[in-house]
Structure 1
Amino acid sequence: MYNSLQLRQTQKLGLALTPQLQQAIKLLQLSTLELRQEIKAVALQNPMLEVEDDGNDERFESLESLAEQESKADSNDTFDPFDNDSSVKCTDTAFPDANQTINISSDQNTVQNLSENQGQRLNSADTRHGQSLGNDDVYEGETTEDLHDHLLWQLDLSPLEGADRLIAENIIDGINDSGYLQESLESIVATVRETYPEVSQEDALSVLKLIWNYDPLGVGARSVQECLRLQLEAKTPSATTELALHIVNEYLKELSVRDFRTLCQKLNIKENQLKPAIDLITSLNPRPGHGAVKEKSDFIIPDVIVIKGNDGRYYVTLNSDSIPKIKINEHYRQLASQAQTEQDRKFFKNNLQEANWFMQSLSKRNETLMKVASVIVEKQQDFMEYGEGSLHPMVLNDIASEIEMHESTVSRITTEKYILTPKGTFELKYFFSSSVSTDDGGTASSKAIRARIKELVSKENARKPLSDSRLSSMLADEGIIVARRTVAKYRESLGIASSSQRKRLV
């Protein structure tokens, strides 16, 4: 045995992820918003790439043209101290008499007070409307007001000062997004006593009663019963209101399970007398904080659009306006041909190669998106025509085998990609669903079954709602074999309450 050095050559087959392939996979799974940001970032780093500017629309002007117009306007308005402006005349200004006494101190105080008040209003308005200079995460003009801001704004309009104001601020801090007070009055009083030792629990309760009158009505309640009671007490007194208050105070448990027969027995009334009170209670808002401040709406830009052809079938077209268009910068292309040094030629060559790779990856992404969307629409023609109830079962493997790609590729290209159809805008993932066997040997989509359950519940008798067992038997009559537990699972996923909770008085 002896040690020696040997040189051997072997061949192996393997998949190497090149930078170009890694970039293509990354672009494939990006959403439209993320892809926009990626294109802008790459265009800033690579001088050979240029984002095409849609400057053909005459309704919009570029920032450069606006700046040029502003500079011209400023140059025309040059101040001339010797210009005799006839718009300002000495007779328009009232000068005091020589013997008149001017109270300078009072005028200065007035100006100072006006400045302070104006500054406070500007600061509070800027904070509510997202124009605060200290908050870089909020763009100018964005509405960021929440329930706590809304309550604090009302507190600023109230005359509360000192200990009462501190109690009110602590109460508002203890209110959750639903509008309920989660902190106990004892803990609030203990916090306030660190500054004002003489504060009592009765003082805190008095301030809480004032906050109960804030908008939205019922905010600051400590329970659902108290929230409903506050809203009922604010309504115009009537026999229906008194009955509703009595039900909320004494029979909330029976009301929660919709045991109307027991309610009628205990109240010694008939159903036609109970119905107006129940309708009044159900019209109240058990979560007053949710509707206090309007939330910002989210808008979705579809990646592909479904259009109906002359033959009556549906086809897919790419939404070209969803992402910015890019091209090779001609100016830098000319500079590359005029490069003198080896370093400059290498710089332009590398950037041009990366730019071409990026544009090819974008083109490949759009091509894959069109392939997947076209197959989905082809398989879901009935959905495009009739809606969710006609959705066919489909899994990732069905699309992957059709376009001869891997399931992971289909999963990436359908994540956070949206399609505009005649029935609304949906994520491409929406069209994939599991299948349920039918009695004729076929299959039905689980989402189509959910849509059918929703339709059956919407047409049920409100006095006798359909139970899960009854829904299961009705689906079986239509050839769809679904167990009762599966029906219950689908019903809960749709946000539909149980049959006992759906019971109504008609």
Structure 2
Amino acid sequence: MRQSLQLKIGQQLTMTPQLQQAIRLLQLSSLDLQAEIQEALDSNPLLEVETDNEALPSEAEASPETSATDTSQQETSDVINNDQLPDDLPVDSSWDDTYTSSTPGSSSSGSGQSFDGDGESYQGETSESLQDHLLWQMRLSHFSDEDEAIAEIIIESIDDTGYLRTDTDDIVAALNNPEIGVEEVNMVLNRLQQFDPVGVAARSVSECLIIQLRQLFADHQLKPAAIELIEQHLDLLGNRDYRTIMRKMKVTEPQLKEILQLVQQLQPHPGDAIAQKPVEYVIPDVSVRKKQGRWMVELNPDSVPRLKVNEEYAALSKSTKNAADNQYIKSHTQEARWFIKSLESRNETLLKVANFVVQRQQGFFEHGEEAMKPMVLNDVAEAVDMHESTISRVTTQKFLHCPRGVFELKYFFSSHVNTEAGGECSSTAIRALIKKLVAAENPAKPLSDSKIAELIAEQGIKVARRTIAKYRESLNIASSSQRKSLI
């Protein structure tokens, strides 16, 4: 075989470590990015946080014109955006603090999530588990050693919702004491069921609710009727078969309403008052506000600190005579500059995408969900001249703060449904219409999926009944039979 030399011209994109870092930074959330920045600050002495009051290049007007001079041949080149690599960079190379009582009769808001003015979501949290709370009460109740051993096993068998998931026979077997029988276990169990939260250690929903009725509403005149309803007709109540309940209990509709009002004050999951979910923080990446009649988009300066190269340390490379020290300073200086460049590229890309999203969805910021327009990743990709996968990275786990709340950028993307006029309607807008119709319906005669489809069709939007059912289920809205209520 004859050997020869051939000259070929071609293009290829080399995934250098620096480019891989830029792509990775682009897809990180704010919290993950802050952790990444802190790790870089700890490992690189040439990198430091800028302490001046200069603002990020963060504000842009939401306008149809979008500057897009970055290359678009390959998806990964979108990360670099409008900037070229610097020439000097190598190509590769107390009690109230821990527990908040939430009895059925209180007005506690539960563990619902809310947002503060800075866009951070917070919710109540306690460091004490339900088991710790019960053990603390047990030690104050003067149990005998034998009863304390029984109580500890029972408490260990209680799940986070407050229910006892182990049979008394299994508890007796676990004690491995022939002198302890089922009667002793039931006696200790009855004592534990008087502990806080009320209804804990119940073995069924009906037992849990009856315990609460007897303790919290002992003198209530409707207590016997409520106990009868729970003991004998709980299945009918779950199916909302009120007519059969009234017939069997021999009560009128107004009387049943009063009984149901009493039952609805009970807590079917008593353990939820103690076992809280961990706090989840949401730091918005961009903020949207109206300024002089136009919606403006700006980066949140609190989400990412401004970094700079420590020039004093960098200047030491000129004065040091040690080759190893000189190489160390130069390499870390280049790493710091590349890291800063990657952050700037991330911010510019995020701002460009958020600017287009706000411009496209101005109706949402003005009028709410019902004015949302259909939009997919390809729409943004074509407008800003980037790859769809880049847009996906930019919008995943990135949050936007506006007067209407905090939303993930993914929230503004939705498919479309054709209208009778030949236009398009966003699926998010249809979901908003469904919520609005259900909120305004008569609880005694809730709207069926077919009726909701008819009402939406009157607004010029043709949606099939099965589509309404799919959207309703995605909103966690029960069917019409399950939404029926006398109250």
Same fold (TM over 0.5): yes
- Inter-CA distance 346–292: structure 2 relative to 1 (3 Å threshold): closer
Gaps of 5+ in 2: 55-93, 100-124
Q: Is the 8 A contact 1:305 1:420 kept in 2?
A: yes
Q: How does 1:250-261 map to 2 (within 5 A)?
A: 250-261=232-243
Gaps of 5+ in 1: 57-123, 130-141
Aligned to 2:333: 352
> d(CA) in 2 for partners of 1:435 and 1:408?
21
1:94-143 per-position Cα deviation (integer Å, ceiling 9, x unaligned): xxxxxxxxxxxxxxxxxxxxxxxxxxxxxx99xx89xxxxxxxxxxxx94
Alignment partner of 1:387 out of 368, 389, 400: 368
Count of matched residue pairs? 420
Whether 1:24 and 2:22 are equivalent positions in the alignment is: yes
Aligned to 1:401: 382
Aligned-pair distance for 1:4?
6.3
Aligned to 2:286: 304
Aligned-pair distance for 1:33?
1.1
> d(CA) in 2 for partners of 1:19 and 1:231?
62
> d(CA) in 2 for partners of 1:287 and 1:432?
36
Q: Secondary structure at the match of 1:327?
A: strand
Aligned to 1:105: none
> d(CA) in 1 for partners of 2:155 and 2:379?
54
Whether 1:238 and 2:236 are equivalent positions in the alignment is: no
Whether 1:176 and 2:174 are equivalent positions in the alignment is: no
Report 1 or 2 for greater relative contact order, CA contacts < 8 Å, sequence distance ≥ 6: 2
Q: Is the 8 A contact 2:128 2:274 kept in 1?
A: no
What letter matches 2:283 in structure 1?
I
Q: Secondary structure at the match of 2:355?
A: helix
Aligned to 2:393: 412
Aligned to 2:185: 204
Aligned to 1:80: none
Aligned-pair distance for 1:459?
0.6
1:52-90 per-position Cα deviation (integer Å, ceiling 9, x unaligned): 34799xxxxxxxxxxxxxxxxxxxxxxxxxxxxxxxxxx
Aligned-pair distance for 1:153?
1.6
Aligned to 1:45: 43
Aligned to 1:266: 248
Whether 1:373 and 2:373 are equivalent positions in the alignment is: no
What letter matches 1:28 in structure 2?
L
Q: Is the 8 A contact 2:126 2:274 kept in 1?
A: no
Identify which range, 441-450 or 233-242, moves more after superposition: 233-242
Aligned to 1:338: 319
What letter matches 2:463 in structure 1?
V
Q: Secondary structure at the match of 1:17?
A: coil
Aligned to 1:321: 302
Aligned to 1:439: 420
Q: Secondary structure at the match of 2:163?
A: coil
Q: Is the 8 A contact 1:46 1:355 kept in 2?
A: yes
1:169-226 per-position Cα deviation (integer Å, ceiling 9, x unaligned): 1111111111111111111110112xx3311011111111111111111111111111
Q: Secondary structure at the match of 1:465?
A: coil
> d(CA) in 2 for partners of 1:323 and 1:306?
17
> d(CA) in 2 for partners of 1:11 and 1:162?
86
> d(CA) in 2 for partners of 1:391 and 1:161?
65
Q: How does 1:100-179 map to 2 (within 5 A)?
A: 143-179=126-162
Q: Secondary structure at the match of 1:385?
A: helix
Aligned-pair distance for 1:381?
0.5
Q: Secondary structure at the match of 1:237?
A: coil
Task: Give the number of the structure whose alpha-carbon radius of gyration is greater.
Answer: 1
Q: Secondary structure at the match of 1:501?
A: helix
Identity, in percent, stands at 49
> d(CA) in 1 for partners of 2:339 and 2:143?
62
Q: Secondary structure at the match of 1:50?
A: strand
Aligned-pair distance for 1:9?
4.6
Q: Is the 8 A contact 1:418 1:428 kept in 2?
A: yes
What letter matches 1:24 in structure 2?
A
1:277-334 per-position Cα deviation (integer Å, ceiling 9, x unaligned): 0111122111111123454543322111101021x22110111121122111122122
> d(CA) in 2 for partners of 1:161 and 1:14?
78
- Inter-CA distance 55–382: structure 2 relative to 1 (3 Å threshold): closer
Q: Is the 8 A contact 1:254 1:263 kept in 2?
A: yes
